[in-house]
Amino acid sequence: MRRRQFLAVLSGAAASVPIAARAQQPAKLPTIGFLVPGTPESHGKWVAAFAQRLSELSWIEGRTVAIEYRWAEGRNERMAEIAAEFVRLKVDVIVTSGDGAIASKQATSVIPIVFAAYGDPVAFGIVTSLARPGGNVTGLTVQPTAEIAGKRLDLLREVIPGFRRLSIMANVGNRAYQQELGEIQAAVSRFGLEATILEIRRAEDIAPAFEAVKNRTDALYVFSEPLMNANRVKINTLALGARIPTIFGFREFVDAGGLMSYGPNFADLFRHAADFVDKILRGAKPADLPVQQPTKFDLIINLTTAKALGLKIPESFLLRADEVIE
């Protein structure tokens, strides 16, 4: 569970309940099993956002609710083990994201499941439809679209002179890989770009992938999922060393030194997941709670990284950005 490490990440959010209060908790509190696909470093801020929102809704850890945290560290087999454990523990609701939703769905058709972020839950059979999920699963989708993929490539074209060659780094073990790849390839074809796929199965594949495209690519598009997120510092260090501009799906990659990101605010998605959990703990059924989609997408750019890469970012681009990191 790595309790100490996670407490440091939460920085006193909902996990700061005094020990004495924990000792006085009732014998049986409603229990949330939180299957986190990544690590405290990669997902800690998002989990903290969830816990903070939960506390605002009067679900205080150790007083009115118990939360069991487990970290899968980007490993699919670990997700399956955690989901099975939560079934044995008979938790009242499972919260997860990414492929943790698949693992949880395969483990139980009874315990309510809330996913804070998932690609296309209908295509992968997690829910029947967005409006009427059916079954025991609901949450928030970050379904990839050609429009979003095209927007990211368009952003690269604005800041990289003579942009023609794109490398795409993806964890091929992620179930959403093929669908998102199809959306990116459609955008690549539309812009007349040359694309190289860098297939990653484990963290050890990342460095060799960079060696394979060094001096042979103009930019790197990274699939934003748990394995990539857990290794975002490594990816950005190698990209900067090879002088390759990068684009990602969310801001945490840019905080870690990436060039830019365009996508939904994941901390906000995890906060909304707490609203689902609140309703379920108060008696609502997942089947009756429509899957929600993000309505706001953020453009974040790291100006320090841009300067290190020798890129001059147009003033009009910076004015459009939701945040400029300097």
Q: What is the mean pLDDT of residues 8-20?
A: 47
Residue 7 confidence (pLDDT): 47
Is the same domain home to 172 and 215?
yes
Is the same domain home to 109 and 178?
no
- The whole model's pTM is what? 0.77
For 24, the domain range is 3-143+266-288
Amino acid identity, position 112: P
> What is the total residue count of the chain?
326
Helix (H, G, I), strand (E, B) or coil at 186: helix
Q: What is the CATH number of the domain that holds 206?
A: 3.40.50.2300
* Residue bearing tokens 């899968």: 72
Residue 191 confidence (pLDDT): 92
Is the same domain home to 9 and 138?
yes
Is the same domain home to 224 and 128?
no
Residue 291 confidence (pLDDT): 97
Per-residue pLDDT band at 3 (split at 50, 70, 90):
very low
Q: Which two tokens stand for residue 36?
A: 């986190």
How many folded domains does the chain comprise?
2
Is the same domain home to 177 and 318?
yes
Bridge partners of residue 113, in order along the sequence: 94, 137
Is the same domain home to 282 and 301?
no
pLDDT in tens, 36-91: 998 998 899 999 999 999 999 999 999 999 999 999 998 889 999 999 999 999 99
Is the same domain home to 64 and 130?
yes
Is the same domain home to 86 and 221?
no
Is the same domain home to 110 and 171?
no
Is the same domain home to 150 and 138?
no
For 181-194, b where at least 16 C-beta lie within 10 A, e where not — what string? bebbbebbeeeebe
Is the same domain home to 20 and 106?
yes
The 3-state secondary structure of 20-38, one letter per residue? HHHHCCCCCCCEEEEEECC
Percentage of the chain modeled with pLDDT above 90: 73
pLDDT in tens, 148-197: 888 999 999 999 999 999 999 999 887 777 777 888 888 899 999 999 99
Is the same domain home to 50 and 189?
no
